[in-house]
Amino acid sequence: MRNLKLSIIASLAIGVCTVTNASSLEEALTSGKVSAEFTATYENRDMDNEVSNYYQNTAYAVGSFALGYETAVWNGLSLNAKFRAYTTLFEDDNNSTTSKGSGDASERFWETGDNDDVDFESLFIEYGSENVSVKAGRQALNTIWLNKTHDALNANFKFGETNVEAIWTRRMGRVTSRDYRPLSASDGVFLNKVDPSKGVYKLGLSHDLGEIDLKAFYLTAPDDRDLIGGQLAYDNGTFGASAQYTAYKPEDSSDEDGSHTELKAFYKVAGYTATLAHLITTDSFSHFGMGTTNAMEEGDKIYTHDAKTTYVKINKRFGDLSATLISGITDYDDNTNNDYSQTETTVWLGYPIAKNLKGNLGYTFVDADNDDTDETDLNQLNLTLVYSF
């Protein structure tokens, strides 16, 4: 199916090009931009108790090479393509069985090794004008309840201070230097399984009132579930606050309805940005994508039954060094009247080591509830180096 999708996109690209003037096409191609990067990422996960194939001790390093090309814009049209190839550099245990394969790296890099280890990170045609933007193909999405890498049609239309967002996506995953999860609609990446022939549709409306921004959105996976909600946000550059509410409606009437609420505020002072957020998940809730209100590295319990999460996030730059601290606590139950609590703290550091070399270091500690036998304390250390040119 992936090859079929890519063939359709390539055919569309060729079809667009063949109706253009040859000299215009030549100029667009020859003035395009080529980019490349070498990356290496290392991760070590240490558990108090190895309670599953996912929650087990792992240590590995994976390298990747990415090559991208973007044409110049011709009559509003451009083509963007970027592929990434992975290879395992080191595994503490290359025979360990994880939830996604064999070897420590397979938990995060699902098909790296003897299987599929080359994939497109992006491959899309874009049309843009002053009030219209349309992307068709593989692309990164960053919108409420849809994020990471998608095979999608993404259109945005601007009418004065109002923006209309229309998205159809049939598959999603992750193709990055730290993560490779091949795009799919049927293996749980969309959480509840989505019919790939129908995909997920989103319609979003936003209106800019200066310091106040209003949003409304509706997402549906036909024959599966709907999400509908809205957001009110205020931002004066120094202080900001937002409230987002999403109602969840499963297609199966025997399943439980639910909702998710995000309340958030930030304040900037002396170069610091401090954010305080409170998340409430009532009853059952199943989002799309990877959960766009989850700011934590793990946050595994944020969307569980009757979960309540409070977290603090602090950002600060110290010269070229960027630092982020996120710490939160989640209270949740297992839908059988057992209440638990889990805390998580993460520190991120980013630094430009040289002109074209950047490094990111992260450490996460999860303190799980001893009474929840399905969970365990976690220490995670990761380091990613990116050399781009």
Residue 357 identity (one-letter amino acid): L
C-alpha distances (whole Å) from 261 to each of 38, 228, 242, 269, 302 are 40, 12, 11, 27, 11
**Confidence grade of residue 193 (pLDDT, cut at 50, 70, 90):** low
- Residue whose C-alpha is closest to residue 260's, from 250, 249, 245: 245
C-alpha distances (whole Å) from 250 to each of 31, 247, 259, 285 are 49, 10, 11, 9
**Mean per-residue pLDDT of the chain:** 89
End-to-end C-alpha distance for the chain, whole angstroms: 32
3-state secondary structure of 162: strand
- Residue whose C-alpha is closest to residue 170's, from 190, 185, 149: 185
Highest mean pLDDT among 13-17, 44-48, 282-286: 44-48
pLDDT in tens, 137-168: 999 999 999 999 999 999 999 999 999 999 99
The more confident residue out of 281 and 100 is 281
The more confident residue out of 7 and 116 is 116
The more confident residue out of 191 and 360 is 360
Query: Does residue 188 register a pLDDT over 80?
Result: no
3-state secondary structure of 239: strand
DSSP 109: B
* Amino acid 19: pLDDT: 35
Query: Does residue 4 register a pLDDT over 50?
Result: no
Query: Does residue 12 register a pLDDT over 60?
Result: no
In whole angstroms, give the CA distance from residue 377 to residue 299: 13
pLDDT in tens, 24-41: 777 877 888 999 999 999
Beta bridge partners of 34: 69
In whole angstroms, give the CA distance from residue 260 to residue 18: 48
CB contact set of 12 (below 8 Å; sequence gap of 6+): 125, 136
* Amino acid 113: pLDDT: 65
Beta bridge partners of 63: 40, 87
CB contact set of 170 (below 8 Å; sequence gap of 6+): 151, 152, 185, 196, 197, 198, 199, 200
pLDDT in tens, 87-134: 999 999 999 988 888 899 998 998 776 666 899 999 999 999 999 999
Containing 375, the helix (H) or strand (E) segment is: none
C-alpha distances (whole Å) from 113 to each of 90, 118, 379 are 11, 10, 26
**Confidence grade of residue 253 (pLDDT, cut at 50, 70, 90):** confident
**Confidence grade of residue 201 (pLDDT, cut at 50, 70, 90):** very high
